[in-house]
Structure 1
Amino acid sequence: MPVRAVFTPVVCLVLAGACSPSSGLTDAAAPPAVVMRGVRLRSFEGETPALSGQAERATYERNGELTATRATLRVPGRTPADVTVVSAALMEGHLGTRDLVASGDVEVRTGAGMVARTPRATYSGAEQRISGQEGVQVQAPDYRLRADTFVLSVPDARFTFEGSVHTVLESAHD
């Protein structure tokens, strides 16, 4: 799931202007600009929605960093049915770079019914891809798979697996 262009919530963009520090310098020990609970997230590429989701809690820092807990993001593909859903215990990103790192029981679901689980995944919004280097387990309608690394191109929902890859084909009629 791409990380750079995806995690720019509208709520935070609106609050960023209202909560910017009064001086050019900020204290590293300063509290976050905004702490939100029960947050709905939306990101746009110009006028086009890039992703949406929700988080139990989100913290926006004055430097543009955003941290969300128990978060779920929906990234649209080429058609409305091609939505990729990413959920994790923790998602950390930056509004300026539009990159995101998800960690803690990360689950990636594609519109085709594939579910990938990994400890950590990185999303690049500019490339619209999700990648992981810490192993992945995949359950799909007719197979299961384990691999060392993966890359998912969100626009075409194409997974690439590398390293040690183990696949088990299953019958659709079991």
Structure 2
Amino acid sequence: MVVIDFVRNIVNVQLGRALKEGRIQSSVVDEIKRLLSTAEDKYGFSSFGGNPEKLADYLESRDFELLVSAFKAGGGVDVLLEILRQAEEAYKDLPRLRETLREVIQGLSEGRERIGTLSSVFEYLKKMFPDRKVYIQGDEIVVEGDVTARLRIEDGKIRVGLYKVVYVEKGDLDKLKELIANA
């Protein structure tokens, strides 16, 4: 199976077309190419000596969020969506990558912010809940309040455990049993 290279066969072609049509500025294209060059080296998703499936890791990273910001700053989100749709078609035989591309496309189309890494989720939660204690403990984020939330990223999803602390008088086993039964 011949695998198309993301940067050379998809991104560069789409960027060239968009530049020619005046849908994106050359300074933005230069920044996008710089970001992608760094990402390709870091994540190893090139078809030439790398593994295209590793593109999924990049799409779930903070580094990809920087690329999205560059496209947004240059008014080129439509160009990015074209690139991602073409990649989804090109990599239809790579299930994890195809699914990741689908999720990213859907999120960008709906204007949703992407949250993919523990640090990006942490920063987001700190901004959303400035009145609560938010911290990282091991591979989890903890948000303390009346109900404590413990978050962990597993298989590309955010797992959330919600815990309410209730105090029971020492020796009140009936109350303890009632609380657990009703949980």
Q: Please confirm whether the aligned pair reaches a TM-score higher than 0.5, indicating the same fold.
A: no
Calculate the TM-score normalised by the size of structure 1: 0.26
Bigger Rg, structure 1 or 2:
2
Calculate the TM-score normalised by the size of structure 2: 0.25
